[in-house]
Structure 1
Amino acid sequence: MSVTSPEKNSPNYARKRVVMTRLSQDSQSADRILSDNRQPNETLLQGKFQYSQFRSGLIVQAGTFRELADADVLSNAGPCVCITLLLSGRIRFGYDGMDNVLDASDGVKALAVNLARQCAFRRHIVASAQEQEIRKINLLVNPEWFDKNSIPLPESVRQFLQTHLASWRWQPDQDMLKLCEEILTLDQAEDPWMHQLMLESRGQLILMQLCRQLVNCSPAQFQHVADAMHHIPDQLSAVVAYLEAHLHHDVRLQEVASATAMSVSVLQRRFRTGLGCTVFDYVRNRRLEKARDMMQLENVSVSEAAYLCGYNHPSNFITAFKRKFGITPGEC
């Protein structure tokens, strides 16, 4: 099976190409996130970035930066709980079949997502937003962090950690905002040991506030988000992660099977049994979902969305779109 790449005919082809990245830090100038596989040393993000990993299982990432190029950055993530706190700007990112947009134009936004297994992570970078400064903090914590001396977890926290793509949005209070501001300015500390101690302590306090939020919520408040996603059997998680990471490319069964250590026949049988559809159907549906999101969130035209889905004629795209969503792209 070959699914035609939608990007080769798209006006947005350059922006939608997938890139790998690396961080370049220079004490004499701004930090940069560079492309590793598109244009040599192309700067995607520029500003100030922090990254610290602690023995407790906590990773703290923080940055104040601007987006300078159009690109989709793909990587693998999980299992972990990912907390994103956006103090200014607008960002778009996703895990597997979930896409998220955080916009801090009307106040700070906070989102926690549980990754119960390895999945594809996508980050969309938009050059048109380069005049807008983005200030954000990411906290990544492994599931073992929540195990405190074998004390049973509160039921809502336990269910959150057991549900892949369970998410929780909340409004940070002033105490949390103060912690975020301190993290973003801690790079000015002169003593590296004290800097790490202060950074970890503030990250832990933010996690504690998240736990308080989860303890006081009903599991139904985050469960419905995950229920809307595909219930993916463990034996297909690597396949789905591969497909999600390659939605913008030609997808061939032999390549998928080789990448996930299966034969083509086993892949087809397990996929249909586990998800009730073919690999082709999954890719087509996910492209339609992404096209819908782009029309809603990025004002992409129907013609552009059709190309992004691999349709040479918008009329065929409109028919497929209405069959899946019950409305036409124009009604989206």
Structure 2
Amino acid sequence: MQDAHFSARPLVGLPRRCEVAPGCPPAEPALRAHMERTRLLRPGLLLHWEDAREARDLIAQTEIGAGLRIVVLLEGAVDVSYGAQRVALASTQGRASAALVALTERDRLTRRARQGVYSRRVNVSLGWEWLAQCGAAPDMLDDLMLRHLTARRWQVSARAAALAEQIVHPPPLAPLLQHMYLESRALDLVGEALGALCPQPPAEAAQRLRPREHQRLRELHAFLASGRADDMSLDEIARQAGVNPTTLQRQFRAVYGTTVFDYLRDARLQRARQALERDGVTVGQAAQLAGYTSAANFATAYKRRFGTPPKLARARV
């Protein structure tokens, strides 16, 4: 995907020089591929996405300006350093992970890649001038407890993961419409990240939970993610957790912001996506894995969740 900005002016934060690990091929092809997946949405707002396996060992370095850097890893692993602050992310059990790094001055970005390592991720770079234009107060860093090279992890919501998926695989649109599509998703993703980090009073119901109840919910969350509860009723799940169904729903929503069955539905869709991408199952087989008797209904739910139809995921195998 090309953009006129690539030839019109330099993009702040793009690698201008790549240093390659000993014995590795030159980095220029990797740099060109990087440029093709980068979009300057507006001055101070830069978007980059990846969905590929590393072709070679590589160490790429560049100088980047002050601002906020948001990394959302949907699947795989990524290893980058901002100055002396190293950020290594890896997805576990199909769950996305994310980090935000603050730079109050220019510093060096280093990305390390190992041959064969897969990564599906989105990076958003926010300049301070852009943040100021959006109404960010001068004391925003103090509110977020961020200093130079401070890195903060944040829990990726289902909505944030869906936005990132839509950025990685946007629909085929005319250049202007695609630019607007990517910018709208990037802005929503920024809102999700900053909203997750901004100080907010915890939900009253979650505040009232005792440590033992939080531990029980964490264990139940892992049980639901494993797939063992897919065919269980709410009563059976509640018995597994040792509470009644009403209490379970109230506590689960207070801590995770969703219902038990909404979470199960999303977990099944995640497993179906992995089966499409990794195992090459048919769309009908993926629909069964996700608990759908209709492949058409599955395709609709899949596209709503990930932004692309399931047949495209299978095409990447």
When the two structures are superposed, what TM-score results if normalisation uses the length of structure 2?
A: 0.51
Contact (CA 8 Å) 1:82, 1:139: kept in 2 or not? Answer: yes
Matched, 1:122 2:106: no
**Cα distance, 1:197–1:91 mapped onto 2, change above 3 Å:** same
Q: What does residue 88 of structure 1 align with?
A: 75
Superposition pairs of residues 200-279 of structure 1, within 5 angstroms = 200-216=183-199
> Which 4+ stretches in 1 moved above 6 angstroms?
45-48
Superposition pairs of residues 180-191 of structure 1, within 5 angstroms = 180-186=164-170, 188-191=171-174
- Report the Cα distance in structure 2 between the residues aligned to 1:93 and 1:149, rounded to whole angstroms: 28
Report deviation, 1:71: 2.4
Given candidates 147, 165, 169, the residue that maps to 2:149 is: 165
**Cα distance, 1:172–1:150 mapped onto 2, change above 3 Å:** closer
- Report the Cα distance in structure 2 between the residues aligned to 1:101 and 1:58, rounded to whole angstroms: 23
Report deviation, 1:98: 1.2
**Cα distance, 1:119–1:197 mapped onto 2, change above 3 Å:** same
What one-letter code is carried by the residue in structure 2 that aligns with 1:136? Answer: R
- The one of the two structures with greater contact order (alpha-carbon pairs below 8 A, sep at least 6) is 1
Matched, 1:198 2:177: no
Contact (CA 8 Å) 1:80, 1:115: kept in 2 or not? Answer: yes
Contact (CA 8 Å) 1:157, 1:214: kept in 2 or not? Answer: no
- Report the Cα distance in structure 1 between the residues aligned to 2:166 and 2:72, rounded to whole angstroms: 13
Contact (CA 8 Å) 2:85, 2:151: kept in 1 or not? Answer: no
Report deviation, 1:21: 4.2
Report deviation, 1:122: 0.9
Report deviation, 1:72: 1.6
Alignment length (residue pairs): 183
- Report the Cα distance in structure 1 between the residues aligned to 2:41 and 2:169, rounded to whole angstroms: 19
The runs of 5 or more residues in structure 1 that have no matched partner are: 1-18, 23-33, 219-332
Q: What does residue 97 of structure 1 align with?
A: 84
The runs of 5 or more residues in structure 2 that have no matched partner are: 1-15, 202-317
Report deviation, 1:69: 1.3
Report deviation, 1:80: 1.5
Q: What does residue 263 of structure 2 align with?
A: none
- Report the Cα distance in structure 2 between the residues aligned to 1:55 and 1:44, rounded to whole angstroms: 24
Contact (CA 8 Å) 1:47, 1:64: kept in 2 or not? Answer: no
- Report the Cα distance in structure 2 between the residues aligned to 1:62 and 1:86, rounded to whole angstroms: 10
- Report the Cα distance in structure 2 between the residues aligned to 1:209 and 1:41, rounded to whole angstroms: 34
Identity %: 21
- Report the Cα distance in structure 2 between the residues aligned to 1:152 and 1:70, rounded to whole angstroms: 41
Report deviation, 1:118: 0.7
What one-letter code is carried by the residue in structure 2 that aligns with 1:190? Answer: L
SS of equivalent to 2:42: coil
Matched, 1:143 2:143: no
Q: What does residue 6 of structure 1 align with?
A: none
When the two structures are superposed, what TM-score results if normalisation uses the length of structure 1?
A: 0.49
SS of equivalent to 1:111: strand
Q: What does residue 55 of structure 2 align with?
A: 68
**Cα distance, 1:197–1:125 mapped onto 2, change above 3 Å:** same
